[in-house]
Amino acid sequence: MAREMPLFANHPISFSESQRLGKYRAFCVHVVDGDTFDIILDLSIMQYSVIAVRLLGVNTPELNASNEIEREQAKAARDRVQQLIFEQPLLISTYKDRRSFGRYVAAAWFHPNAEFQARIADLDTLQSNDFTQNWVSLSSVLIYEGHAREL
């Protein structure tokens, strides 16, 4: 018997509203590095899938780089992504990409907490105007903070 996952009972947006916006509801369950993470995706009617996604449109330094400075930058990017989205509600748009090692490529938005809003003076430029002022683009934040470069 299928049951709604408790994570999604408190998601800031309903499934039907997320679908109206052309997005999926999700929760981050593991951060691999600055541009790759695992999510639980709400597929509707109490069906869920765990998938690995690569963040669309950005690149972060590699954890296994030969250069120590790049490895430190990679750790900082991973840690920042962990702070922003781990065990947090997300909105996701996914795209299958053959070049991403079997992962999906995804645009991701998170619901900013008060600490984040207070820290980011330029929050308006990071919020996505295409669907709601209550969600912030993860890619935009990483670029804004210098953890990622745009592809």
DSSP secondary structure of the chain = -----HHHHT-SS-HHHHHHTT-EEEEEEEEEETTEEEEEEEEETTEEEEEEEEETTEE---TT-SSHHHHHHHHHHHHHHHHHHBT-EEEEEEEE-TTSTTPEEEEEEE---HHHHHH-TTHHHHB-TTT-TT-EEHHHHHHHTTS-EE-
Q: What integer is the mean pLDDT of 25-31?
A: 97
Q: Is the pLDDT of residue 116 over 90?
A: no
| pLDDT tens digits along 53-84 | 999 999 999 999 999 999 999 999 999 999 99
Q: What integer is the mean pLDDT of 28-49?
A: 94
Q: Is the pLDDT of residue 121 over 90?
A: no
Task: Give the closest residue to 37 by CA, choosing from 26, 48, 46.
Answer: 26
Q: What is the pLDDT of residue 125?
A: 57
Q: Please give the model's pTM, rounded to 2 decimal places.
A: 0.87
**pLDDT tier, 123 (very low <50, low <70, confident <90, very high otherwise):** low
Q: Is the pLDDT of residue 42 over 80?
A: yes
Q: What is the pLDDT of residue 65?
A: 93
